[in-house]
Each structure stands twice: as structure tokens, then as C-alpha cells.
């Protein structure tokens, strides 16, 4: 099931084919609204181990379980905290991951021997079709980190997946460009404790706080206990510098400039100017594609001017900080 044109919908036969590959312990890259994920049966240790091997991902770094509905989440995590249903009703399917107490069904490789598991219901018709079919022929839950080499820029197209993982995974489904373009927001919910942000993403913290009626604390410092918490991540091969403006910044043929900048206003002779929106949502949707495009030019440095406004500004700044680390 290698890419053969953009597929926004799968036939029942195609969905079943992908689900049967997952049930057989294979790895299948699937599109989601955030980025492409490398999916494998979340209940199968051997299948999950293939994810780590393909990505070069360090053992013990937790993965996120994706399922087709809120009702299915209860197979993998404890959803008794009433705040879970509150957020699920507001944001699922969508780009929100909740860290909850795990059940015994999930592979310990998925959670890194932790007592919690990240769970999400994605909002992409292809991903949902595959998960619905997998619920009929398998466990119904897939571990699905971003489908790229560990630490590299996440993929938002099927071709990005193949750039990193061709020959290392069993199948890729082409569902077009990812709509959100950055990974899900991760919030830890432990009964009796304040909700904790572990990674900003496709749902803003303000939206989550409004839904819950309580504050969310920032838990991004300290031990890495969820996907995307390492200081250096989402990085292209070229070095990345994040600047407020291009004033005083030297650019030449070895530099690419990315952001809400006017190409004619850039002094010197940059290799390329990749102009993105000043609005964070539109900026996020194009960010990873732009970083990969700059890398493909062979530049040594990528200078990024961040967006100025929008609900996803925190998520974009987080990704840029990690790319530049």
C-alpha cells in the first residue's frame, strides 16, 4: 500500500487491507490531521518494537495510542475522571492527547514501563477508517509516533515519510497534506491533581482551560515523560536560528530564510526565502514542509522569523525552540 496518489477516503477493502497488516504485526504509516504517524498494534510487543527500530527511537521514550472513538479509549486507559469526558466531548476527534492511568492491555514498550499512557482520537478520515477496521480484526489501538527518523522534522506528507523511512516500514497510505501540521497537545490528567501541559500543540491551552474551567500548569521541565518533551527535537539537518527580525542578520547563499518576511526586504543573497503567514495556525501548517524544503537545498543554516499571533503560537514557538536546540 505504497502511495499512489492522494487518498482522502479509503474504500472498505482498502481499510481492511491496512487493518489486516496491523493485525499481522506490520508497521503502516497513516495520515492524521497533525502529522503522519507510524502505526503498529499497541497491544503487540513485537509490532511496537518495529516502530522503535524503524525510527531509531530510544527505548523507554513513550508512544501515544490512537483509537477510533472515546468509547474505545477505556480499553487502554482509565477514563473515570470526569474531566476526561469533558475534554473528549470538546476536542475528540482532534489534536489533543491525554495522559491517563493505563490498563494492562497496552504494551509496556508503548508506555516505557510507566503507569500512564497517552491516548488520542485522531481527526482524519483515512486514519479513522483504518482504526475502525482494525477494531474489527485486531486490538483497535495503534501506537503511532510521527513517521520519521527520531528527532528529525515530522512528516506532513507521504513523501516525507518515504524520505526518512523507505525500506524500513511495511506500508504507507497517502492521505494528502496534514491539515494542522504540528503534533497534538499533550495534557496529563491524574485524579486529584491539576491538569499539566507536557507539550503544546494543535489545541491551545486557553481552549483547554475554558473547557475545564480550571488552570493548566506547565509541566514541560524536568524528566521527559511524554512524546516530544526532549530539549532537542523536530530538527532539520541544517542548524536553525530563531530571530525576532532579520535586522542585522547576515544571509548568503548558504542560508535559507523562513517566516512572515518579504523576499525583497531580505538583504544579501539568500539561497531561498520561504514566506509563511504571520498567523500561527497557517504558519504551523507549512512549517515542517518548509524546513524540509530548506534542508533539501543543502543550506547550512535556516533562519526562522516566527509568527506574531494566533492560538497555536505557543506550539509553533515550542517546535522552533526544539529545532534550534
Contact 76, 65 (CB under 8 A): yes
CB-facing half-sphere around the CA of 55: CA atoms within 13 A: 28
Q: DSSP letter for 77, please.
A: B
Q: Would 4 be classed as within a structural domain? A: no
pLDDT in tens, 48-68: 999 999 999 998 889 999 999
Say if residue 210 is in the same domain as residue 285: no
Domain that holds residue 262: 239-324
CA-based Rg of the chain, rounded to a whole angstrom? 19
What residues contact 134, with CB distance under 8 A and at least 6 apart?
Answer: 18, 19, 22, 23, 41, 68, 140, 141, 142
- How far apart CA 42 and CA 66 sit, in angstroms, is 9
Same domain, 137 and 169: yes
- Identify whether 224 is part of a domain: no
Checking if the pLDDT of 279 tops 80, the result is yes
- Are 102 and 114 a contacting pair, CB within 8 Å? yes
Which of 297, 156, 154 lies closest to 233, judged by CA? 154
Instruction: Spell out where 153-230 has E strands.
Output: 171-172, 185-188, 196-199, 217-218
135 and 88 inside one domain: yes
**Is residue 227 in some structural domain?**
no
Q: Do 40 and 178 belong to one domain? A: yes
Last residue of a domain, one of 218, 248, 277: 218
- Write the pLDDT tens digit of every residue in 100-152: 999 999 999 999 989 999 999 999 999 999 999 999 999 999 999 999 999 89
Residue 233 lies in a domain: no
Tell me which DSSP letter residue 76 carries: T
Asked whether residue 253 falls in the same domain as residue 145, the answer is no
Question: What pLDDT, on a 0 to 100 scale, did the predictor assign at position 178?
Answer: 97
Q: Are residues 59 and 190 in the same domain?
A: yes
The pLDDT, as a whole number, for residue 8 is: 59
Question: Same structural domain for residues 243 and 214?
Answer: no
Q: Which residues contact 68 (CB under 8 A, 6 or more apart)?
A: 121, 128, 131, 132, 134, 135, 140
**For the domain that residue 138 is a member of, what is the CATH number?**
3.90.870.10
Please check whether residue 252 is in contact with residue 269, taking contact to mean a CB–CB distance below 8 angstroms.
yes
Does a structural domain hold residue 253? Answer: yes
- The reply to whether 106 and 54 lie within a common domain is yes
Same domain? For 283 and 145 the reply is no
Q: How many domains is the chain partitioned into structurally? A: 2
Residue 292, helix vs strand vs coil: helix
* Burial class of residue 317, CB neighbours in 10 A (0-12, 13-18, 19+): middle
Mean of all residue pLDDT scores within the chain = 92
Do 213 and 312 belong to one domain?
no
Q: What is the pLDDT of residue 314?
A: 96
Alpha helices in the chain (DSSP H): 12-23, 45-55, 70-73, 82-91, 108-111, 125-137, 158-165, 205-212, 280-296, 313-324
Q: Are residues 192 and 319 in the same domain?
A: no
pLDDT recorded at residue 3: 40
Look at residue 77 and tell me whether its pLDDT is greater than 90. Answer: yes
Whether 68 and 104 map to the same domain: the answer is yes
Residue 230 lies in a domain: no
pLDDT band at 87 (very low <50, low <70, confident <90, very high): very high
> What order of strands is seen across the sheet that includes strand 239-242?
239-242, 301-304, 255-259, 272-275
pLDDT, residue 231, reads 63
* Res 163: pLDDT: 96
Residue 226 forms part of a structural domain? no
In a domain, 317, yes or no: yes
pLDDT (average), residues 281-305: 96
Cα 15 to Cα 31: distance, rounded to the nearest angstrom: 13
Of the candidate ranges 89-93, 222-226, 278-282, the one whose mean pLDDT is the lowest: 222-226
Amino acid at each position: 500500500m505504497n502511495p499512489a496518489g492522494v487518498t482522502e477516503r479509503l474504500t472498505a477493502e482498502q481499510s481492511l487491507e491496512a487493518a489486516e497488516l496491523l493485525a499481522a504485526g506490520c508497521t503502516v504509516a497513516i495520515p492524521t490531521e497533525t502529522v503522519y504517524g507510524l502505526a503498529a498494534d499497541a497491544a503487540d510487543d513485537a509490532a511496537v518494537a518495529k516502530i522503535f527500530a524503524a525510527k531509531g527511537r530510544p527505548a523507554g521514550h513513550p508512544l501515544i495510542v490512537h483509537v477510533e472513538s472515546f468509547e474505545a479509549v477505556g480499553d487502554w486507559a482509565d477514563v473515570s475522571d470526569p474531566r476526561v469526558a469533558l475534554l473528549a466531548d470538546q476536542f475528540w476527534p482532534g489534536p489533543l492527547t491525554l495522559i491517563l492511568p493505563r490498563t494492562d492491555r497496552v504494551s509496556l514498550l508503548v508506555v516505557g514501563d510507566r503507569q500512564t499512557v497517552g491516548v488520542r482520537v485522531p481527526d482524519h478520515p483515512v486514519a479513522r477508517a483504518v482504526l475502525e477496521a482494525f477494531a474489527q480484526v485486531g486490538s483497535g489501538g495503534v501506537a503511532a509516533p510521527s513517521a520519521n527518523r527520531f528527532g528529525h522534522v515530522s512528516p506532513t506528507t507521504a513523501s516525507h515519510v518515504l524520505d526518512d523511512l523507505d525500506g524500513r516500514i511495511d506500508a504507507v497510505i497517502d492521505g494528502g497534506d496534514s491539515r494542522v501540521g504540528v503534533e497534538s497537545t499533550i495534557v496529563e490528567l491524574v485524579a486529584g491533581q491539576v491538569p499539566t501541559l507536557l507539550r503544546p500543540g494543535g489545541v491551545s491551552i486557553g481552549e483547554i482551560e475554558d473547557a475545564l474551567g480550571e488552570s493548566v500548569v506547565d509541566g514541560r521541565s524536568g524528566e521527559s515523560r511524554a512524546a516530544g518533551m526532549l530539549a532537542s527535537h523536530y530538527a532539520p539537518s541544517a542548524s536553525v536560528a530563531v530571530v525576532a527580525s532579520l535586522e542585522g542578520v547576515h544571509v548568503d547563499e548558504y542560508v535559507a530564510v523562513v517566516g512572515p518576511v518579504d523576499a525583497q526586504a531580505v538583504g544579501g543573497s539568500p539561497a531561498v526565502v520561504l514566506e509563511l503567514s504571520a498567523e500561527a495556525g497557517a504558519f504551523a501548517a507549512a512549517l515542517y514542509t518548509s524546513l524540509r524544503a530548506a534542508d533539501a537545498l543543502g543550506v547550512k543554516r535556516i533562519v526562522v522569523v516566527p509568527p506574531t499571533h494566533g492560538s497555536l503560537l505557543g506550539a509553533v514557538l515550542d517546535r522552533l525552540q526544539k529545532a534550534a536546540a
